[in-house]
Structure 1
Amino acid sequence: MGAGMNPFIHIAYQQLFATLLISPFAFFFERKTRPKMTLKIFFQIFLSSFFGLTGDQTAYFVGLKHSTPTIATALANLIPAITFIMAVLFRLESVGARTKGGKAKILGTVICIGGAMVLTVYKGGVVIRQSSFKWKYAQNTVEKSHNSNSYLGPLLVLLSICSYTAFLITQTKLGKQYEAPYSSTALACLLASIECVTIAIAIDHNISDWALTPMRAVSTVYNGIMYSAVAIFLTSWCVEKKGPLYVAVFNPLLLVLTAILSWAFLQEKIFTGTVVGSILIVVGLYVVLWGKKNELGVIKVEDDDNKLKEADKRETDEC
């Protein structure tokens, strides 16, 4: 977008490239094991594509165009908290405030969000001075990105966060009923392509705006591969295995990576707040992971006890 590309067209191309990438994997790896498609499953995949690809990415990129990366990143800190609340409401996560695992999940989530806020808001003294490396394109992109709207930008980013959280909830239910991650991702990308192309054509009627310069082509192909195809596939797989909170709690790590890359390529300094916030994020992440592991261990023990009781009952009945 720093090269002047319409964000709606950028996202439309992104979904098209993602569909082309993931479809062969779905065909070759799941053509014999793919479950039967039903209307209910198709509707869930449609919701997944709408919330996770069309809604999330459209609102985020347009919001970013009318805001700043700092504001967008700061608002993204709300993802673990919103996901936790929605997962509890939809009974995909249990609070378990009286158990060790439940307390750890709550405490870890709070620490993660607190660390993210410290990293975003507090600076302190300089720990590492700016890098001597200069990347001309990155500098030009930053200079062009200060077109901010104090209301529209943050509102759209917040809408993107809610859409992404809804995607995690939808994907949790979908993964349990349709165990074909390549196929569901390919269909979601295809549906998102149709949605995004329709939106882009409705908003921008100028055919010349669809031209792909080398920089635009690299950007859309990269985002299509990494941000749509790979990210959605891995997110779907992780949500199916570990649940929505497990995925959402990793989001604040983006702040740490952003700080490191900004120092390396954008000549930004590493401040005390960056270091302290990063440490808190990592600590909070490990606390949540420990809580999830403890919770799964308790569930496994309870399941084993129930199986033993059922076996004893059957033996008693036979006697």
Structure 2
Amino acid sequence: MGKDCVPPVAMVLVQLGFAGMNVVSKLALDAGMSPYVLIAYRNLIAAAFIAPVAYLLERRSGATVTKKVLLQIFVSSIFGATLNQVLYFVGLKSTTPTVACALTNTLPALTFVMAAALKMETVRPGTPAGQAKLVGTAVCVGGSMIIPFYKGPVLRLWASPIHWSFAEHTSSASAPAAAAGGHSGAVAGDVLIIGSCVAWAVWFILQSRMAEGFSAPYTSTAIMCVMAGAQCAGVSAAMDRSLAVWKLGFDIRLYSVLYIGIVGSGIGFAVMSWCIQVRGPLYVSMFSPLLLVVVAIVGWAILGEKIHVGSAIGSALIVAGLYMVLWGKGREMDKPGLDNDKGDEEAAVGLAFNGKAAVASNRVEAVSLPVFSATNPKQEAPRNGSN
């Protein structure tokens, strides 16, 4: 049970880190920082942070950085870092952190559809596990959509003892500029955030593919952050050639780039890469709805935001849907061949006609826990008895 608890605990901690990243990033953008500069600093700081960790933990892993691996990391950096982050932070300037987090909860559905289309994730709607995954995904997305579109009355909560007055002043200063953009600006921001979710879902798929031949998540993360930092710096130079935009002082700009670089990219991407190798892309993406719940709590505690009835209902649905998907995923990993009870016959027929799909799904999900050594597919068979 000890090893089984590591992936879910790690992913919950990642979401807590991402919640703080959303808050400090919004404050930095409201203070006038360029989103392109913010992203470039984020990736360069992340690379500097994760490179020593990769050297210490993976220098004897036996994994070789070939031209093919570099090409895979380069493509991953375009989707998972540059495109994903540029679209998200540019969109975040025109909307609120809560709405942005709500829209990112389309990620599990997008990842599930892509993984199922590529035969990396089994569906089997006639089995209890398959039904839990399908219904849980729908409940998660539905709950996340309630929050931005239905507010309801404000919940009467006690005043937060750790309210941050600086955040209130910064947000108030940026309010006139946001109001000038109007409804069209908010819609454009929402569309950009949805586009970032598509890019992030592609990154999940690419990472699971790369794990088949290169099982060194910290090394790949460090290389990806260096590439993404260079790409974002080029985008920033093309958008604004002034050197003044790169200036950092001892203020929210410096604090935000340090936080999102170390926590948001350095630690976050490395932990997610490891969890993808251990549990697969859908498992990792299903923790993203927790981010909305955490952001709502952090917004109330630090930023003094009000929590509405719609937020509470949506959060409850998100947690319920997440539990359903994790239950279905865990059931499939315990019995990857066939489900029990009435689903056995239908699952057997599915395996007969879709053998390649089952093999692909098991290969992605079954990378053994010693992640610091190269993965040997022939050694994956004993996995069934370890869970």
Length-normalised TM-score, structure 1? 0.89
Unaligned runs of 5+ in 1: 303-319
Q: Which residue of 1 aligns with 2:382?
A: none
> In the alignment, which of 235, 238, 241 is matched to residue 278 of structure 2?
241
**Is 1:32 the counterpart of 2:60 in the alignment?**
yes
- Conservation of the 8 A alpha-carbon contact between 1:131 and 1:265: no
Residues 76, 29 of structure 1: CA spacing in aligned structure 2 closer, same or farther, 3 A cutoff? same
The one-letter code sitting in structure 1 at the alignment partner of 2:137 is T
Offset at residue 145 of structure 1 (A): 4.5
> In the alignment, which of 164, 170, 177 is matched to residue 141 of structure 1?
170
> In the alignment, which of 27, 34, 44 is matched to residue 16 of structure 1?
44
Offset at residue 196 of structure 1 (A): 1.1
Give the superposed CA RMSD: 1.8
- Conservation of the 8 A alpha-carbon contact between 1:63 and 1:153: yes
The one-letter code sitting in structure 2 at the alignment partner of 1:142 is S
State the alpha-carbon separation in 1 of the partners of residues 55 and 134 from structure 2.
41
Q: Which residue of 1 aligns with 2:228?
A: 192
Residues 183, 34 of structure 1: CA spacing in aligned structure 2 closer, same or farther, 3 A cutoff? farther
State the alpha-carbon separation in 1 of the partners of residues 270 and 221 from structure 2.
6
Cα-to-partner distance string for 1:234-266 (whole Å, 9 max, x where unaligned): 111111111111111111111111111111122
- Conservation of the 8 A alpha-carbon contact between 2:103 and 2:145: no
**Is 1:297 the counterpart of 2:334 in the alignment?**
yes
Q: Which residue of 2 aligns with 1:311?
A: none
The one-letter code sitting in structure 2 at the alignment partner of 1:114 is G
Unaligned runs of 5+ in 2: 1-28, 340-387
State the alpha-carbon separation in 2 of the partners of residues 15 and 211 from structure 1.
17
Aligned to 1:250, what secondary structure does the other structure show? coil
Alignment of structure 1 residues 93-132 onto 2, 5 Å: 93-129=121-157, 131-132=159-160
> In the alignment, which of 285, 297, 302 is matched to residue 265 of structure 1?
302
> In the alignment, which of 306, 316, 319 is matched to residue 282 of structure 1?
319
Aligned to 1:82, what secondary structure does the other structure show? helix
Offset at residue 71 of structure 1 (A): 3.4
**Is 1:55 the counterpart of 2:97 in the alignment?**
no
Cα-to-partner distance string for 1:104-162 (whole Å, 9 max, x where unaligned): 10011111112222233323333333625431221123224542414432222121111
Length-normalised TM-score, structure 2? 0.74
The more displaced of 114-123 and 79-88 is 114-123
Quick one: percent identity of the two aligned structures? 42
Aligned length: 302
Q: Which residue of 2 aligns with 1:42?
A: 70
Aligned to 2:211, what secondary structure does the other structure show? helix
Larger C-alpha radius of gyration, 1 or 2?
1
Q: Which residue of 1 aligns with 2:92?
A: 64
- Conservation of the 8 A alpha-carbon contact between 1:253 and 1:282: yes
**Is 1:174 the counterpart of 2:246 in the alignment?**
no
Offset at residue 270 of structure 1 (A): 2.6
**Is 1:227 the counterpart of 2:256 in the alignment?**
no
> In the alignment, which of 233, 245, 256 is matched to residue 209 of structure 1?
245
- Conservation of the 8 A alpha-carbon contact between 2:84 and 2:196: yes
- Conservation of the 8 A alpha-carbon contact between 2:165 and 2:303: no
Offset at residue 102 of structure 1 (A): 0.7
Aligned to 2:92, what secondary structure does the other structure show? helix
Residues 214, 34 of structure 1: CA spacing in aligned structure 2 closer, same or farther, 3 A cutoff? farther
Offset at residue 269 of structure 1 (A): 2.6
State the alpha-carbon separation in 2 of the partners of residues 154 and 276 from structure 1.
22
Offset at residue 214 of structure 1 (A): 1.3
- Conservation of the 8 A alpha-carbon contact between 1:252 and 1:281: yes
Aligned to 1:179, what secondary structure does the other structure show? coil
> In the alignment, which of 73, 86, 104 is matched to residue 76 of structure 1?
104
Q: Which residue of 1 aligns with 2:26?
A: none
Q: Which residue of 1 aligns with 2:351?
A: none
The more displaced of 186-195 and 136-145 is 136-145
Offset at residue 41 of structure 1 (A): 1.4
Offset at residue 292 of structure 1 (A): 0.5
Aligned to 2:155, what secondary structure does the other structure show? strand
The one-letter code sitting in structure 2 at the alignment partner of 1:273 is G
Q: Which residue of 1 aligns with 2:24?
A: none
